[in-house]
Amino acid sequence: MPKPAVLLSQKLNKFIEEALADDYDLLDLPEEGVNALGARAADIRAVIAFGGFSAEQMDALPNLEIITCPGVGYDGIDTDHAASRGIFITHTPNVLNDEVADTAVALLLNTVRQFYFAEKWVRDGRWERDGAFELSPFTLKGRKVGLYGLGRIGEEIAARLEPFKVEISYHTRSPKKGVAYAYHPTLASLAEAVDTLICIVPKTDETHKTINADILKALGPNGILINVGRGWTVDEDDLIAALEAGTLGGAGLDVFYDEPHVPEKLLTFDTVSVLPHVASASVATRRAMAQLVADNLKSWFAEGRPVTPVPETPFTPKV
């Protein structure tokens, strides 16, 4: 029995190849794209893709059965087209919740207390040379934190924030059962009620640039925006304008609109903390994500059922 051929559409998680090497015939996506696979295109039964896989790419692979996304966000993978072709999509929910929630809290503290700049002060020898670092203009104490998104990761962020004694509320499309935090039916009403907004919603048509000038202004001059969801959700021009005008206090960002590009202007504010999309990027968590990719493929090829399919491709057993 030949090993199933699996196409790696990009190299993001180095543990994936390690987890799949023994059981699959692994192929790299040619730089010229799927059409350059030639005769091998017909062999491919699975694709590993993060950040997108189009209908056109799927159609170049006539025997494609499953696309496994090594991340929880599977935006850019054409779910409708996959469903119409009977192609399953899987992702890696839950195994990264803790890491991403930890990062959100770290980013929040870094932003309000300017710890990056404080550490740089020491490393640059300025403590000894120039004296004490400046007082941070913001504090976490007494903040009202609004979560835009209260799913798997949002809930973990909220749980971590409880001991900080901040007031927590949230906005999602529908109220979450069994949750005591105050619910806001719109993002605008959440932003009016809080001074700190944490974004952890997926990239969808509905969430495009929803964090705009009005939302940022509502957070106010003491306001802080934290984004660990997708850069897609924030209007970066509006964010820069709000920071420049002082209508928003600061921002902590792990994700950007056009990664890896980060608008240069954002880097000029010492009330902005930036990370290169590393919320899940620890060895332990990336290994767990790679293992879940492998588990999905194993279960699919052995039993015809993936472990963690996305909701748009509801599970129907192959056998």
Q: Which is nearer to ligand 8YV, 13 or 271 (CB)?
A: 13
- The tokens of 114 are what? 């300017």
Binding to ligand NAP, residues 181-210 (CB under 6 A)? 200-204, 206-207
Per CB under 6 A, the list member of 4, 8, 13, 78 interacting with ligand 8YV is 13
Q: Is 279 in the site for ligand NAP (CB under 6 A)?
A: yes
Q: Which is nearer to ligand 8YV, 311 or 317 (CB)?
A: 311
d(CA 275, CA 104): 11
Using an 8 Å Cβ cutoff, are 184 and 190 in contact? yes
Q: Which residue is nearest to ligand NAP (CB)?
A: 151
Among 40, 81, 85, 277, the one annotated catalytic = 277
When CB distances are held under 5 to 8 angstroms depending on the partner's kind, the choice from ligand 8YV, ligand NAP, none that residue 50 binds is: ligand 8YV
Using an 8 Å Cβ cutoff, are 209 and 234 in contact? yes
Q: Which is nearer to ligand NAP, 150 or 290 (CB)?
A: 150
Q: Which is nearer to ligand 8YV, 13 or 172 (CB)?
A: 13
CB of 319 to ligand NAP, least distance (A): 29
Contact map string, positions 248 to 277, toward ligand NAP, x by CB under 6 A: ------xx---------------------x
CB neighbour class for 133 (10 Å; exposed up to 12, middle 13-18, buried from 19)? middle
Per CB under 6 A, the list member of 24, 34, 49, 70 interacting with ligand 8YV is 70
208 catalytic residue (yes or no): no
Quickly count helices (H) and strands (E) in the chain.
11, 12
d(CA 141, CA 121): 24
d(CA 107, CA 276): 12
Contact map string, positions 12 to 51, toward ligand NAP, x by CB under 6 A: ----------------------------------------
User: What are the E-state strand segments in 138-237?
Assistant: 144-148, 167-171, 182-183, 196-199, 224-227
- The tokens of 135 are what? 């007082």
Q: Which is nearer to ligand NAP, 80 or 206 (CB)?
A: 206
Name the 3-class secondary structure at 288.
helix
Per CB under 6 A, the list member of 76, 93, 137, 220 interacting with ligand NAP is 93
When CB distances are held under 5 to 8 angstroms depending on the partner's kind, the choice from ligand 8YV, ligand NAP, none that residue 13 binds is: ligand 8YV
DSSP string, 52-118: -B-HHHHHT-TT--EEE-SSS--TTB-HHHHHHHT-EEE---STTHHHHHHHHHHHHHHHHHTHHHH
Single-letter residue type at 256: F
277 catalytic residue (yes or no): yes
d(CA 206, CA 287): 32
Among 45, 143, 184, 230, the one annotated catalytic = 230
d(CA 77, CA 64): 14
Closest to 257 (Cα-Cα) out of 273, 278, 236: 236
**Which region, judged by CB under 6 A, interacts with ligand 8YV, from 1-9, 66-74, 104-112, 115-123?**
66-74
Q: Is 213 in the site for ligand 8YV (CB under 6 A)?
A: no
When CB distances are held under 5 to 8 angstroms depending on the partner's kind, the choice from ligand 8YV, ligand NAP, none that residue 70 binds is: ligand 8YV
Footprint of ligand NAP (CB under 6 A): 72-73, 93, 96, 100, 149-154, 171-174, 200-204, 206-207, 228-230, 254-255, 277, 279-280
Q: Which residues bind ligand 8YV (CB under 6 A)?
A: 12-13, 50, 70-73, 96, 277, 280
